[in-house]
């Protein structure tokens, strides 16, 4: 069976960076935003529409269509179609070879593939500092960044609850939880990769 790592993460915690650096270290294929493109091809929906419904939350997005020709029930149907397509895409990815998948509820969808599930979190100060380095966030105040982080994490939690009754971020539901507060992520990659390789050997 292929070796699969799923990474769930709080916004700004560095989960995406961990995934990318681990893929380079271990030689696993890395999947993140590419998954949206694959879902778009599967559903014939636009990437922007899929991102808004599946990542920004169904209910806030529904209100944006209050004066449009798209009804709330249609959005609900689209969300279910996206979830079905997402499961198909994730399973195809898992069957291709060793991989690292960031987000998308992959830890739930791929549970039968025996993935190693990682959760990455951090204190608010560290998350704000990481966000400041992003081009799209550099003009936001610290309070605005904190609000953005809380909103995105709430949406991720809500999305997780749509596909599972397993609590998002609960340590009991992951094989490894990583607190990146005050850490330089690149420094932990070699030891983390070694830990992961040993974990798969024991399976």
CATH number at residue 62: 3.40.50.300
Determine, yes or no, domain membership for 198. Answer: no
Report d(CA 27, CA 119) in Å as an integer.
Answer: 21
Residue 58: CA atoms inside 13 Å, Cβ hemisphere, count? Answer: 18
Number of separate domains in the chain? 1
Q: What pLDDT shows up at residue 61? A: 45
Q: Say what the pTM is.
A: 0.85
Determine, yes or no, domain membership for 115. Answer: yes
Determine, yes or no, domain membership for 199. Answer: no
Determine, yes or no, domain membership for 33. Answer: yes
Q: What pLDDT shows up at residue 63? A: 41
Domain span at residue 99 reads: 4-192
Q: What pLDDT shows up at residue 161? A: 79
Residue 196: CA atoms inside 13 Å, Cβ hemisphere, count? Answer: 28
Q: What pLDDT shows up at residue 124? A: 96
Determine, yes or no, domain membership for 197. Answer: no
What residue ranges of the chain have pLDDT lower than 70? 53-76, 135-138
Q: Convert the pLDDT of each residue in 20-45 to its tens digit.
A: 999 999 999 999 988 888 888 888 88
Angle, helices 15-26/185-202, rounded to nearest 10 degrees: 60
Q: What pLDDT shows up at residue 11? A: 93
Determine, yes or no, domain membership for 201. Answer: no
Q: What pLDDT shows up at residue 47? A: 79
Determine, yes or no, domain membership for 43. Answer: yes
Find out whether 115 and 200 touch, Cβ atoms under 8 Å. no
Report d(CA 108, CA 105) in Å as an integer.
Answer: 6
Determine, yes or no, domain membership for 188. Answer: yes
């Amino acid at each position: 069976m292929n070796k699969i790592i799923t990474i769930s993460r709080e916004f700004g915690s560095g989960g995406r960076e961990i995934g990318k650096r681990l893929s380079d270290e271990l030689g696993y294929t890395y999947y993140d935003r590419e998954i949206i493109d694959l879902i778009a091809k599967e559903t014939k929906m636009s990437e922007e529409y899929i991102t808004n419904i599946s990542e920004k939350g169904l209910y806030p997005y529904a209100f944006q269509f209050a004066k449009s020709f798209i009804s709330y029930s249609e959005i609900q149907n689209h969300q279910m179609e996206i979830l079905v397509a997402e499961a198909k895409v994730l399973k195809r990815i898992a069957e291709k070879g060793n991989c690292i998948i960031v987000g998308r509820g992959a830890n739930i969808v791929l549970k039968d593939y025996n993935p190693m599930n990682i959760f990455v979190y951090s204190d608010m100060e560290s998350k704000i500092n990481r966000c400041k380095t992003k081009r799209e966030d550099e003009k936001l105040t610290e309070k605005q960044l904190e609000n953005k982080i809380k909103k995105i994490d709430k949406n991720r939690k809500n999305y997780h609850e749509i596909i599972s009754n397993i609590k998002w971020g609960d340590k009991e539901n992951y094989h490894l939880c990583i607190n990146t507060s005050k850490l330089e992520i690149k420094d932990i990659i070699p030891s983390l990769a070694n830990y992961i390789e040993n974990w798969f050997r024991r399976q």
